[in-house]
Amino acid sequence: MTTTEESENHPKPVDFNERRMQALAKENAQLREYIATIMMRLQDNEQLFSRLFAVETSVLTATDPEEMCFTLLRELRSQFSLDLVRFWFDKEGLIGSTPMSALSDHDLVWVESGEINAMGFNRRHVWLLQVQNDGFPWMQPHDEPLESIALLRLGSKEKPFGVLGLGSNDKNRFSPDQSTDFLAHLAQIISLSLEHSITHQRLARLAITDALTGTQNRRFLQPYSHQPLSSWFGKGVPVVALYFDMDDFKGVNDRLGHSAGDDLLTELCHIIRSHVRAQDPLIRMGGDEFVLLLPSCQEKKARSIAQHILNDMQALHHQGEHISVSIGLAYSSSQQNLTLTQLINHADKAMYVAKALGGNRVESVKENKTE
Which whole number is the average pLDDT over 106-110?
92
Taking Cα atoms as reference points, which of 166, 173, 169 lies closest to residue 146?
169
CATH architecture of the region 216-364: 2-Layer Sandwich (3.30)
Q: In the prediction, which pLDDT does 126 show? A: 92
- Lowest mean pLDDT across 34-48, 78-92, 104-118, 149-163: 34-48
Cβ–Cβ under 8 Å, residues 91 and 221: no
Interatomic CA distance for residues 156 and 105, integer angstroms? 25
User: Residue 282 forms beta bridges with which residues?
Assistant: 292
Cβ of 356: how many Cβ atoms within 10 Å?
10
Taking Cα atoms as reference points, which of 336, 318, 327 lies closest to residue 253?
318
Better-predicted residue by pLDDT, 50 or 277: 277
Per-domain boundaries in the chain:
62-206, 216-364
Q: How confident is the model at residue 343 (pLDDT cuts 50, 70, 90)?
A: very high
Q: In terms of pTM, does the model score above 0.85?
A: no
Q: In the prediction, which pLDDT does 122 show? A: 82
Q: How confident is the model at residue 31 (pLDDT cuts 50, 70, 90)?
A: low
Q: In the prediction, which pLDDT does 331 show? A: 95
Residue 148 has pLDDT above 70, yes or no: yes
Say which of 83, 288, 312, 348 is annotated catalytic: 288
* Three-state secondary-structure class, residue 42: helix
Q: In the prediction, which pLDDT does 89 show? A: 94
Q: In the prediction, which pLDDT does 370 show? A: 42
Taking Cα atoms as reference points, which of 186, 182, 128, 180 lies closest to residue 154?
186
Interatomic CA distance for residues 229 and 97, integer angstroms? 30
Taking Cα atoms as reference points, which of 211, 350, 347 lies closest to residue 269?
211
* Three-state secondary-structure class, residue 33: helix
Residue 293 has pLDDT above 60, yes or no: yes
Parallel, antiparallel, or unpaired for β 362-364 and 160-168? unpaired
Q: How confident is the model at residue 43 (pLDDT cuts 50, 70, 90)?
A: low
> Which DSSP state fits 224?
G
Q: What is the pLDDT of residues 187-201, one digit of tens each?
A: 888 888 888 888 888
Q: How confident is the model at residue 369 (pLDDT cuts 50, 70, 90)?
A: very low
Q: Is 70 exposed, middle or buried (0-12, 13-18, 19+ CB in 10 A)?
A: middle
Residue 94 has pLDDT above 90, yes or no: no
Q: How confident is the model at residue 38 (pLDDT cuts 50, 70, 90)?
A: low
| 62-206 belongs to CATH 3.30.450.40 | yes
Is there a catalytic annotation at residue 254? no
* Three-state secondary-structure class, residue 144: coil
Taking Cα atoms as reference points, which of 257, 353, 360, 278 lies closest to residue 312?
360
Cβ–Cβ under 8 Å, residues 321 and 339: no
Q: In the prediction, which pLDDT does 100 show? A: 86
Give the CA distances from residue 345 to residues 2, 224, 292, 361, in Å, rounded to whole numbers and listed in that order: 128, 14, 13, 18
81 CA to centre of own chain: 24
Cβ–Cβ under 8 Å, residues 75 and 54: yes
Interatomic CA distance for residues 339 and 35, integer angstroms? 69
Output b/e per residue, 20-36; b: 16+ Cβ within 10 A: eeeeeeeeeeeeeeeee
Q: In the prediction, which pLDDT does 134 show? A: 62
Residue 219 has pLDDT above 70, yes or no: yes
Interatomic CA distance for residues 127 and 153, integer angstroms? 8
- Lowest mean pLDDT across 82-96, 224-238, 315-329: 315-329
Cβ of 237: how many Cβ atoms within 10 Å?
16
Interatomic CA distance for residues 230 and 235, integer angstroms? 5
User: Residue 148 forms beta bridges with which residues?
Assistant: 130, 168
Dihedral angle at the C-alpha atoms of 248, 251, 252, 256, nearest 10 degrees? 180
Q: In the prediction, which pLDDT does 297 show? A: 94
- Lowest mean pLDDT across 16-20, 61-65, 271-275, 307-311: 16-20
Better-predicted residue by pLDDT, 233 or 21: 233
Cβ–Cβ under 8 Å, residues 77 and 69: no
Q: In the prediction, which pLDDT does 42 show? A: 47
User: Residue 293 forms beta bridges with which residues?
Assistant: 241
Sheet of 108-111, strands arranged across: 108-111, 84-90, 160-168, 148-155, 126-130
Parallel, antiparallel, or unpaired for β 108-111 and 84-90? parallel
Q: In the prediction, which pLDDT does 19 show? A: 72
Residue 329 has pLDDT above 60, yes or no: yes
Give the CA distances from residue 85 to residues 45, 82, 131, 143, in Å, rounded to whole numbers and listed in that order: 21, 7, 15, 11
Q: In the prediction, which pLDDT does 328 show? A: 97
Q: Same CATH topology for 62-206 and 216-364?
A: no
